Amino acid sequence: MQFIDQARVMVWSGSGGNGCLSFRRERCIPFGGPDGGNGGDGGDVVAEAVPALNTLIDYRFRQHFKAGRGGHGAGRNRTGARGADVVLKVPVGTEILTEDGEGLLADLVAPGQRAVIARGGRGGLGNAHFKSSTNRAPRRADPGQPAEDFTIILRLKLLADAGLVGLPNAGKSTLLAAVSRARPKVAAYPFTTLHPYLGLVEAVPAPFVLADIPGLIAGAHEGAGLGDRFLAHIERCRVVVHLVDGSAADVASAYRTIRHELEAYGAGLAEKPELIVLNKIDAIDPAELAERRQALAAAAGGATVLAASGATGAGIDAVTAAIARLVHVECADTTADERTPEPVP
């Protein structure tokens, strides 16, 4: 299935039905009075998060969605039928934005969560509604309210506990395949990964979801390479796992390049907890490994640098355990923040 993480669609809600102007006329009832019913409400356009979906491909070839209009009122106090709703089923983690991409209409982050995107027009009132003690024969019936129609943007941000970032050919896909059952494309050339992959990693103290993000290069935040489009998928990750190719001549420069892109992109990516992994240690001898590991730690401000090889499996258990512990800590902190009541002013 093709991975589509952004789509532009047009939505129309249903217009309300018109109220009815009618009077009861029956034999032997000379003063029947008004009996015009109200019009029905128009249908809504609703977005619903569905856990079974993981792409927006359903909106690649269909971009127009229109809800049903409300039925008109009728005599004998008959109310028009309500228009049928249209439900847009989207993956969990989908944002619904305005046409310019600036305004956020809804953010569906939980399975089953729903949001009304375009609300249907209210039905008009029939003349029976306006009957009063002083107006026994009203000749007023209101039309239904018009529908809403506009363009929205659906943007998917994958929900993962940890995200793999790094330069092209840093070994992210190989590492993901080594620690999970995900099978991303692996090849010996840059930009092998063209869209994100997710994998479930069974680790202690708890399993976590790991995302493989396509490789970044210098200037990605300005559109170079694959651009910064896929950086949006890291926004929801609790932890950033920074992979550096151990066989590269200058590991410190490779690390700084990605850090600069994260800082330039913004959205809090540079402030997320980071785990640094020197990958492909099977391609270098022990003396070079110690030297490059030390240089990478210095570039990262003295942070701990783990060493691993996705190809041979060396150091993989230590990396997955470190990621699991960091994710577990972040989950605990988030839960504590949510349960802490706000101070009373």
Residues 6+ apart with CB under 8 A from 281: 246, 289, 307, 308, 309, 314, 315
The verdict on whether residue 100 carries a ligand-binding annotation is no
Token pair 């009618």 in the structure block, residue: 22
Kindly report whether the peptide bond that precedes residue 205 is cis, defined as omega within 30 degrees of 0: yes
| Structure-token pair, residue 292 | 């490059």
The verdict on whether residue 124 carries a ligand-binding annotation is no
The verdict on whether residue 309 carries a ligand-binding annotation is yes
| Structure-token pair, residue 66 | 């229109």
Nearest by Cα to 238 from 276, 275, 279: 275
The verdict on whether residue 44 carries a ligand-binding annotation is no
| Structure-token pair, residue 327 | 């994710």
The verdict on whether residue 29 carries a ligand-binding annotation is no
The verdict on whether residue 194 carries a ligand-binding annotation is yes
The verdict on whether residue 282 carries a ligand-binding annotation is yes
The verdict on whether residue 93 carries a ligand-binding annotation is no
**CB half-sphere exposure, 61, CA atoms < 13 A:** 1
The verdict on whether residue 65 carries a ligand-binding annotation is no
Strand order in the sheet with 45-50: 86-91, 45-50, 114-118
The verdict on whether residue 71 carries a ligand-binding annotation is no
The verdict on whether residue 169 carries a ligand-binding annotation is yes
The verdict on whether residue 250 carries a ligand-binding annotation is no
The verdict on whether residue 310 carries a ligand-binding annotation is yes
The verdict on whether residue 170 carries a ligand-binding annotation is yes
Nearest by Cα to 180 from 166, 199, 161, 207: 199
- How far is residue 70's CA from residue 160's CA, in Å, rounded to a whole number? 42
The verdict on whether residue 214 carries a ligand-binding annotation is yes
- How far is residue 165's CA from residue 97's CA, in Å, rounded to a whole number? 26
The verdict on whether residue 279 carries a ligand-binding annotation is yes
CB 195 within 8 A of CB 156: no
The verdict on whether residue 193 carries a ligand-binding annotation is yes
- How far is residue 307's CA from residue 275's CA, in Å, rounded to a whole number? 11
The verdict on whether residue 173 carries a ligand-binding annotation is yes
The verdict on whether residue 171 carries a ligand-binding annotation is yes
The verdict on whether residue 38 carries a ligand-binding annotation is no
Please enumerate, by residue number, every residue annotated as part of a binding site: 166-173, 191-195, 212-215, 279-282, 309-311
Please enumerate, by residue number, every residue annotated as part of a binding site for GTP: 166-173, 191-195, 212-215, 279-282, 309-311
Please enumerate, by residue number, every residue annotated as part of a binding site for Mg(2+): 173, 193
